Structure 1
Amino acid sequence: MIDAKENQIDDANLFLRFIRLKLTLKGLDQLLLWLLDTLTTIDLSSNRFSGSIPPSLGNLNTLRFLNLSRNTLGGHIPSSLGRMSLLESLDLSSNKLDGEIPSGLARLTFLAKLNLSMNNLEGQIPQSTQLSTFGNESYVGNVGLCGFPLTKKCEGSDGKPVFPQD
C-alpha cells in the first residue's frame, strides 16, 4: 500500500500481491487477491485505540478513505497525512488530538469529507480553498480553533483565539 506502483512484481514482494484477505462490505464477504491495488479504505473507528497517530500512515499513498474516529488517540495530527494525495475522506473525530491542524492537509485536493470535530485542536484553521469548503460541523467541539470557516475570529499574533473579557 505504501507505493503500489513501485512494489508491483519482484521476487521479494511477489507474495504480497497474493495475500488472501476476506473483507466484508455492506454484509457481503469479498475475497481480495490484489491487496496492494484494491485496499483503499481503512476504518479503525470505535476500537478504544490510544497513543498517537503514526506518521507512517502518510506513506499510504493509495488510500482514499481513513476513519480513526471514536478512539482515544492523542497528540498532534501528523503533517505526513498531507502527502496522501488521493485521500477523499478523513475522519479523526471524537479523539483527544491536540495542537494545530497541519497546513499540509490543505494540499489534499481530492478531500471531499473532513471531520476533525470533538478533539482538543487549537489555533487557526489553515487558509486554503480546500479546507475552507468544509463547514463548522467539521471542526465543532474544538474550543481552541479559530478562523474561517468558523465564526470565531483569530486576533492574536500567535493565531489563537482571543476571548472577550468580562
Structure 2
Amino acid sequence: MPAGWRSPSVYKLQYSHPLCENSRVMVLAVTMGPELVINATLKVGEKVDTVPKLCVKPDGFLTPQWRGESAAAAFKDLSKLSRLFKDQISYPLIAAARAAMSLPVVFGLAALPPELLLRVLRLLNVQSVLSVSSTCKHLNICCQDVSLWRHLAQRDHTGETL
C-alpha cells in the first residue's frame, strides 16, 4: 500500500438525495493487503441492492517517484480508474436506483429502440441471443421476435428451405 495508508482501513461514504425519500447509497472501501475493495449498496425503503464489488490495486494508479509537487502528479492512469469505477459501481447503482423507482432504463441494450435492438440481435449467434433473452423481461420479449428467429434460421442454415 502507499506510504501513510493504515491497514486495515475502512472508508465509508453515504449519500441520500432529498427527492428520494427513504433511500440511501453507501460506498464502503476497505484496504485488504495490497488491494482496495469497494462495495456499494442502495437501500430504497426496505429493499437493499448490492452491486458487484470492485477490487483495485492502488499502487497501479500512483506515481512511484512523486516528489511532493502538485497532487495531480502523484497519480497515473486516472482515466482507467474512473472507467473501472463508473462501469462497476456507478452504472450498476444508477440502474438499481432507476429500477427501484420504476423508471425506464437509460443505458445498455434495454435502452435501445426496439428496431435498433433487433438489428443488434441479428448480429449475434443463437446461443448469444438466448443468453441475452435470459437477462431481463424487456430483452426476453425483444428476443422472441419472429423476424429475428427467421433471420437467424436463414443465416445459419443456408440452403435449407424454411
Q: Tell me the TM-score normalised to structure 2 length.
A: 0.31
Q: Which structure carries more helix by proportion?
A: 2
